Amino acid sequence: MKKIFFSLIIILFFSCNNQEEVIKRTSFVMGSTIEVQIKTKDLQKANLVIDSVFNEAKRIDTLFSTYISNNSMWKINNAIKDTIKVDEEIFFILKKSDELWKKTEGAFDPALGNLIQLIGFDKKNPKIPPQLEVKKVLNNIGWKKIKLIEPNILIKPKNVKLNFNAIVPGYAADICSKIIIRNGFNNFLVNVGGEIFCKGDNWKIGIQHPRSKNEILMKINVNNYGISTSGDYEQFIIKGKKRFNHIFNPKTGLPANECESVTIIAKDALTSDVFSTAVFVLGPSKGINLINKEKDIEGIIVDTTGNIIKSIGFKNFELR
């Protein structure tokens, strides 16, 4: 689970009074950074809670990582039999994946492990393979090949590999946020590899300009929402005059190429994480239609001409 840099910039948490401070700590997880900020008077308790949050994020990473031999994901992807018994947490992610695969018309598809391995965005030196190799891999990808049976059975062809990079960071942000809330803190921000959940009145987030790393495209103000951005500038290869990014269209096996960036605001970070990827794959027209028909989801799309398209309710989050 790897991102090169954050697409969302935490600009400021303001309105602190003299008795409260904002404690901020970072750690390394999922091939990226986890950042936690808590506004509080009780710094000692906040530090203990952040320790718990970091431990939980690392536990989730260990469970779902495709980089660790003999963990749960390795066992699923290397199972000899098609019928696999999984634990409750993994089955939850499988069910959410199935639900969101259907809701996004297949644009979100976590059964692309073979394609990710072929192109190599999970390694140091990705490359664009010959079209013939991509066509061969298309036979061994796709959530349509997956079947779930309650309460804990996954049926998966043994040559199909799963990869939850587009859902687990958001899931981790949500789980870590619940730990903070359970401990009595209600003004905080959790950022897991760029997937954010924040609660409190004054979190100000900057959306990075997709073609200018040091420029903020827009500022938004959010409270009790997840925020995620998918962009073609996060991981990419330049071949000739073409930019090949890390977000694949499951139907073609090629990088999605109609958007520069997509930012989604949703009720939880898992949903914003998934929808930012799905809308990027669908492209501006189908993507904005998907956002507008979903309850409690807003978004902004930058297409490849630099045109900005906003969902109906996005203006409610904009800072002027």
Domain with residue 145: its CATH number is: 1.10.3980.10
What would the mean pLDDT of 53-73 be, rounded to a whole number?
97
Is 21 within the bounds of a domain? yes
What is the reported pLDDT for 134?
A: 86
Helix (H) or strand (E) holding 172: helix 168-182
What is the reported pLDDT for 8?
A: 72
Identify whether the C-beta of residue 107 lies closer than 8 Å to the C-beta of residue 142.
no
Q: Give the pair of three-digit tokens for residue 99.
A: 């639900």
Is 120 within the bounds of a domain? yes
- 161, pLDDT greater than 90: yes
Q: Are residues 244 and 173 in the same domain?
A: yes
Q: Are residues 18 and 118 in the same domain?
A: no
Q: Are residues 178 and 299 in the same domain?
A: yes
What would the mean pLDDT of 155-160 be, rounded to a whole number?
98
Q: Are residues 208 and 277 in the same domain?
A: yes
pTM for this entry: 0.93
- 2, pLDDT greater than 50: no
> What value does the mean pLDDT of the chain take?
91
280 to each of 205, 255, 310, how far by Cα in Å? 20, 10, 14
Percentage of the chain beyond pLDDT 70 is 89
- 5, pLDDT greater than 50: no
Is 3 within the bounds of a domain? no
Q: Are residues 126 and 218 in the same domain?
A: no
What would the mean pLDDT of 156-174 be, rounded to a whole number?
98
pLDDT tens, 7-25? 677 655 555 556 789 999 9
Is 59 within the bounds of a domain? yes
CA 206 – CA 10 distance, rounded (Å): 6
pLDDT tens, 92-127? 999 999 999 999 999 999 999 999 888 876 556 667
Domain count, the chain: 2
Parent domain of 42: 8-64+168-316
Domain end (from 124, 155, 186): 155
Q: Are residues 228 and 267 in the same domain?
A: yes
Percentage of the chain beyond pLDDT 90 is 77
pLDDT tens, 254-287? 889 999 999 999 999 999 999 999 999 999 999 9
CA 91 – CA 105 distance, rounded (Å): 21
